[in-house]
Chain A
Amino acid sequence: MGVGDAHRQRADAGRVMAASGVVRPSLPGGPGSAYGIDLDRVGPTEPVVTRLRRRVQGRYPLDAFGGDPLLEDAMEPALSALSTFVVEGEERIPEIGAATFVVRRRPGPGDPLIVRSMIRAVRRRRARIVGYPDLPPVGPILRRLGYVRFKGEDLAVCLRSGHLAIVPLGSSLRSDKVGSASVPVLWGAIGFPIIPVVVRGGYAGPLGLPVGPHRITVGAPLDLDLIPRDPLSAAELGASAREAVQALLDDTA
């Protein structure tokens, strides 16, 4: 079986499972049900003492990637305190089910983080950021905070589990241009909505964290039926995602 065949089968499986509603977040007994904590939806904040007791006793859920939703929740207030945002097109963020947000990335790790904060604020859902350096100690820490590796296979599994994922495009130094999309990674998103997102304003603070007011525009999902699933035209898929983000950037300029 060639790599292209595997990608096609994976995409078909994803479409069938998504359409049937079999795989969705918050399945009873499914991912995130441990200790009554949902891996997809942000729940009420527990008291600090309860959270500390959980850490000491090891009573917290983890997903298959090693993501720790309670640890992610604990870190979020620090990030959201740094930056504020105004959102256009928030109705395009799905209430349930999987989707991939293709995000323009300016230098630094800030834009995917600010989009993740926005999704939490708007929909009370957690989103996975695709791509982290696979080196200790940074890699394991980011993995625990809900990052997944920059691989199409991992993105496909993440989406089939019903999660939202954020895939940054390649970074660009020019403020009016977007970088290229990673075709081998975006293959994993076929079968699920791909939504372009652009972040403007703000600036990168310490450690590249987003600081200041941001304006976030969420575009319309790409029409995947127009994208051929022939492996030879894989480049066209990446180009479509990049063009959609560039068009959104041009429109909002």
Chain B
Amino acid sequence: MRVLITGMGGELGSRVAQLLEDDPRVEEVSGLDFVPPRRRLRRSRFRRVDLSGLDAAADFVAEMAPEVVLHLGVYEPHARSSPVGAAERTANTSVAVLGAAARTGTLRRVVVRSGIEVYGRGRGRPSVPDELVPPEPSSLFGRICLEAEQVAAAMSRRLDVPLTTLRLAPVVGSHVPSPLGRVLRLPIVPVSIVSDPPFCMVHVEDAAAAFAAVAHGDRGGVLNVVAPGAATPWQAVRLGGRVPFPILGRGWEVARRFAELAGAPVPTHVVELLRRGRTADGARARSIIGLHDMRDAQAILAELFEWASVTPIASAQTRVA
């Protein structure tokens, strides 16, 4: 089986590539991204491409003739791209790469990375949406995810190949460049003064295991990949030993500016999460994919906060001397 991974440069994409490299059923793993992979890959081929090199990306895909496409090139605002850059990269990668893969005639299966942000948090929406709740995104990242889903769905219909959509909860891990993780690790964390809503997460290892598992399946459909349990902003602050900074109404805009100055830009979907929460039902994915040993929300937060602080090289050398 030949597998193409878009977004292979990210923490999730690199980890999925590693898992597939270890799978003897996978003959070839290739990938694309605008940044190099974050992990050591032994037998994967990687092509670095950005918005200006989409023709080269299409040629790379045509040459590889993938049988399975794992479309992880769905970029979260302020993870590694600006909000505008994330939207543009996702849209262009989706169209260029999936279009090129469709033209090869070898495609048998598509898996697309999406997020539970597609459900939105508008008034009257279910608190814990399952896969059958119609998407109604209320943030930029939600709209980015939905657009990627729609492009993949259109291609799947045209070619009559199964499409699996994995809607991930916010992906958090000690080394993941996640906007939510950055905010929660700030010394002073903005929290809502009027509510303490629950939010869920998924560990990057569990998310990668889900992609590796569905790459082989022959069924399509939508699955929410969500760790069991939930946490709240106030609870996370206490668990991490941080200082809460209660905020009301327009104060969130000011807090976003300060957080950005502190090196943790907060995109709108993370503000939405901190103010209104974000949960989804992941029971179906856990039973279908067999993800029974997922790390729960509390374990994910504990790992996030136990991560050792970065030691500057210069000061470490001084100590050794």
Between A17, A63, A148, the greatest number of chain B beta carbons within 10 A of the residue's beta carbon is seen for: A63
Which stretch of B42-50, B78-86, B121-129 is in the interface? Answer: B121-129
The answer to whether A57 and B127 have CB atoms under 8 Å apart is no
> Inside 8 A of B92's CB, which chain A residues have their CB?
none
A13 in contact (CB, < 8 A): yes
The answer to whether A34 and B297 have CB atoms under 8 Å apart is yes
Q: How many A-B residue pairs have CB under 8 A?
A: 124
> Inside 8 A of A58's CB, which chain B residues have their CB?
234-240
Question: Contact partner of A154 among B127, B239, B297, CB < 8 A?
Answer: B127
The answer to whether A57 and B297 have CB atoms under 8 Å apart is no
A232 in contact (CB, < 8 A): no
A32 in contact (CB, < 8 A): yes
Which residues A1-34 have CB closer than 8 A to chain B?
Answer: 1, 6, 9-10, 13, 17, 20, 22-23, 27-34
State whether A33 and B296 are in contact (beta carbons under 8 Å apart), knowing that A64-B198, A66-B230 are contacts in the complex.
yes
Which stretch of A84-92, A100-108, A118-126, A155-163 is in the interface? Answer: A155-163
Which residues B226-252 have CB closer than 8 A to chain A?
Answer: 226, 228-232, 234-240
How many positions in chain B have a CB within 8 Å of any CB in the partner chain? 43
Q: Whole-angstrom distance between the alpha carbons of A65 and B286 in the complex?
A: 18
Question: Contact partner of A28 among B130, B232, B292, B299, CB < 8 A?
Answer: B292
The answer to whether B296 and A34 have CB atoms under 8 Å apart is yes
A140 in contact (CB, < 8 A): yes
B287 in contact (CB, < 8 A): yes
The answer to whether B235 and A154 have CB atoms under 8 Å apart is no
6 A-B pairs with the lowest CB-CB distances in the bound complex, closest first: A58-B238, A66-B198, A58-B239, A153-B126, A22-B287, A34-B298
CB distance from B123 to the nearest CB of A (A): 8
A149 in contact (CB, < 8 A): yes
Which residues B123-140 have CB closer than 8 A to chain A?
Answer: 126-130, 132-134
Q: What 0/1 readout, one digit per residue, does chain B (105-126) give for beta carbons within 8 Å of chain A?
A: 0000000000000000000001
**7 residue pairs bridging A and B, Cβ less than 8 Å apart:** A10-B132, A30-B292, A62-B198, A66-B230, A136-B194, A160-B281, A161-B281
State whether A31 and B126 are in contact (beta carbons under 8 Å apart), knowing that A58-B236, A64-B279 are contacts in the complex.
no
CB distance from B59 to the nearest CB of A (A): 38
Question: Contact partner of A140 among B197, B200, B299, CB < 8 A?
Answer: B197
Q: Whole-angstrom distance between the alpha carbons of A31 and B198 in the complex?
A: 14
State whether A157 and B283 are in contact (beta carbons under 8 Å apart), knowing that A31-B228, A57-B239, A58-B236 are contacts in the complex.
yes
> Inside 8 A of B129's CB, which chain A residues have their CB?
153
Q: Whole-angstrom distance between the alpha carbons of A57 and B294 in the complex?
A: 23
State whether A64 and B292 are in contact (beta carbons under 8 Å apart), knowing that A10-B130, A13-B284 are contacts in the complex.
no
The answer to whether A62 and B239 have CB atoms under 8 Å apart is no
Q: Whole-angstrom distance between the alpha carbons of A35 and B228 in the complex?
A: 13
Excluding A33-B229, A66-B232, 17 further A-B contacts by CB distance (< 8 Å) are A1-B132, A6-B133, A6-B134, A10-B132, A29-B228, A29-B292, A31-B228, A35-B298, A58-B238, A58-B239, A62-B229, A64-B128, A64-B279, A64-B280, A64-B281, A65-B127, A66-B127
The answer to whether B298 and A61 have CB atoms under 8 Å apart is yes
B268 in contact (CB, < 8 A): no
The answer to whether A153 and B228 have CB atoms under 8 Å apart is no
A59 in contact (CB, < 8 A): yes
Name the residue on A nearest B305 (C-beta).
Answer: A58
How many positions in chain A have a CB within 8 Å of any CB in the partner chain? 42
> Inside 8 A of B132's CB, which chain A residues have their CB?
1, 6, 9-10, 153
> Inside 8 A of B237's CB, which chain A residues have their CB?
58
> Inside 8 A of B127's CB, which chain A residues have their CB?
65-66, 148-149, 151, 154
Name the residue on A nearest B281 (C-beta).
Answer: A157
CB distance from B184 to the nearest CB of A (A): 12
Name the residue on B nearest A29 (C-beta).
Answer: B293
The answer to whether B230 and A63 have CB atoms under 8 Å apart is yes
A173 in contact (CB, < 8 A): no
The answer to whether B292 and A154 have CB atoms under 8 Å apart is no
Q: Whole-angstrom distance between the alpha carbons of A34 and B239 in the complex?
A: 13
Q: Whole-angstrom distance between the alpha carbons of A149 and B231 in the complex?
A: 18
B195 in contact (CB, < 8 A): yes
State whether A149 and B126 are in contact (beta carbons under 8 Å apart), knowing that A57-B238, A64-B281 are contacts in the complex.
yes
B272 in contact (CB, < 8 A): no
The answer to whether B128 and A31 have CB atoms under 8 Å apart is no
Q: Whole-angstrom distance between the alpha carbons of A188 and B88 in the complex?
A: 39
> Inside 8 A of B205's CB, which chain A residues have their CB?
none
> Inside 8 A of B228's CB, which chain A residues have their CB?
27, 29-33
State whether A154 and B126 are in contact (beta carbons under 8 Å apart), knowing that A34-B297, A65-B198, A66-B197 are contacts in the complex.
yes
Q: Whole-angstrom distance between the alpha carbons of A6 and B237 in the complex?
A: 38
